[in-house]
């Protein structure tokens, strides 16, 4: 049931052409998905016109790992029939679906920069970038001369291989159209650190020998950078564009004394509550208790 082809997952503007019999059969489409037993069916997303006898109802998929996918249910009905049947069920990716990248053959999956220490990467069979090189003649002097001119190899770069490399280097980070080259004061072919290549590449490419620049990289003859051998330091005191700034100096800033502002009189708050009633004072007279006098002594 989970076929990803044959059914359109996109809404079509021909919604008005869907027959009411097919457009109203949402319950039948939902029941077909429920009978499939793939879990809960999401909300109804709409119906899409296929032809005069069929339409596709779309439902949101709630399956784990299928974010943004949609269930598609194709319903059909004959022109003179009032009976709707289910033709097909499919799980399709929606506009925001999480899908896997396009499949690539195994021999095309390796990219530049993937090769690591210990890895082996053989060239393709009948690689058009390579052609047979010089075959040993048996004469030591001739073979030695062949090795000196670069012919002592079983295979060498073909014309297609050289053109492919030249185009890649020209369009890369060390080509004449890079941002560094556009801002450079001069070009590499006039630089003392430029080491031209040998052979047919000599006219356009070389290797940079400046450790502070593109050291060890193949650069175009019209590439350039600020570390050109003819670059001169600016003369004069200070910066050529801005005045010198002494960040060790201390600037004393005298702040003016603040002007005295007359104080505003403090006004008594207005009484808003009614005064409490004053109760009359009650005078309490102390009670006096008479103590009888002691009898006189007869001694």
Say if CB 74 and CB 50 are below 8 A apart: yes
The pLDDT tens digits of the residues spanning 226-260 come to 999 999 876 666 555 666 677 777 777 888 888 87
Q: Which pTM value belongs to this model?
A: 0.51
Domain ranges of the chain: 13-93, 159-220
Q: How confident is the model at residue 15 (pLDDT cuts 50, 70, 90)?
A: very low
Output the pLDDT for position 1. 44
**Higher pLDDT among residues 177 and 199, named by residue:** 177
Q: Does the CA dihedral 234-235-238-243 come out positive or negative?
A: negative
Say if CB 60 and CB 42 are below 8 A apart: yes
The pLDDT tens digits of the residues spanning 78-137 come to 988 889 999 999 999 998 898 888 899 887 888 888 888 998 888 888 899 998 876 667
For the chain, give the mean pLDDT: 82
Q: Within 13 A of 127's CA, how many CA atoms are on the CB side? A: 16
The pLDDT tens digits of the residues spanning 171-195 come to 999 999 999 999 999 999 999 999 9
Tell me what the mean pLDDT of segment 134-142 comes to. 74
Tell me what the mean pLDDT of segment 154-183 comes to. 94
The pLDDT tens digits of the residues spanning 62-78 come to 888 888 999 999 999 99
Q: How confident is the model at residue 274 (pLDDT cuts 50, 70, 90)?
A: low
Within 10 Å of residue 11's Cβ, how many Cβ atoms? 15
């Amino acid at each position: 049931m989970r076929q990803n082809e044959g059914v359109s997952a996109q809404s079509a503007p021909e919604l008005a052409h869907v027959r009411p019999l097919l457009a109203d059969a949402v319950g039948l489409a939902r029941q077909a998905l429920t009978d499939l037993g793939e879990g809960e069916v999401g909300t109804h997303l709409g119906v899409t016109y296929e032809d005069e006898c069929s339409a596709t109802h779309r439902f949101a998929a709630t399956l784990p790992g299928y974010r943004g996918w949609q269930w598609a249910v194709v319903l059909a009905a004959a022109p003179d029939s009032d009976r709707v049947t289910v033709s097909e069920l499919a799980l399709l990716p929606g506009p925001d679906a999480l899908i896997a990248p396009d499949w690539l053959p195994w021999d095309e999956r390796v990219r530049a920069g993937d090769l690591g220490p210990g890895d082996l990467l053989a060239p393709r069979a009948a690689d058009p970038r390579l052609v047979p090189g010089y075959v040993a003649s048996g004469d030591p002097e001739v073979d030695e001369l062949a090795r000196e001119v670069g012919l002592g190899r079983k295979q060498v770069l073909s014309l297609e291989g050289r053109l492919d490399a030249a185009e890649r280097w020209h369009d890369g980070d060390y080509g004449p159209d890079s941002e560094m080259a556009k801002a450079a004061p001069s070009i590499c072919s006039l630089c003392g650190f430029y080491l031209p290549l040998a052979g047919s590449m000599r006219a356009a490419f070389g290797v940079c020998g400046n450790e502070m620049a593109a050291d060890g990289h193949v650069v175009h003859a019209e590439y350039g950078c600020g570390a050109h051998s003819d670059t001169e330091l600016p003369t004069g005191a200070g910066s050529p564009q801005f005045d010198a700034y002494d960040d060790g100096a201390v600037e004393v800033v005298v702040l003016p004394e603040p002007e005295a502002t007359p104080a505003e009189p403090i006004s008594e708050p207005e009484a808003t509550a009614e005064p409490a009633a004053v109760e009359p004072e009650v005078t309490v007279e102390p009670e006096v208790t008479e103590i009888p006098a002691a009898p006189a002594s007869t001694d």
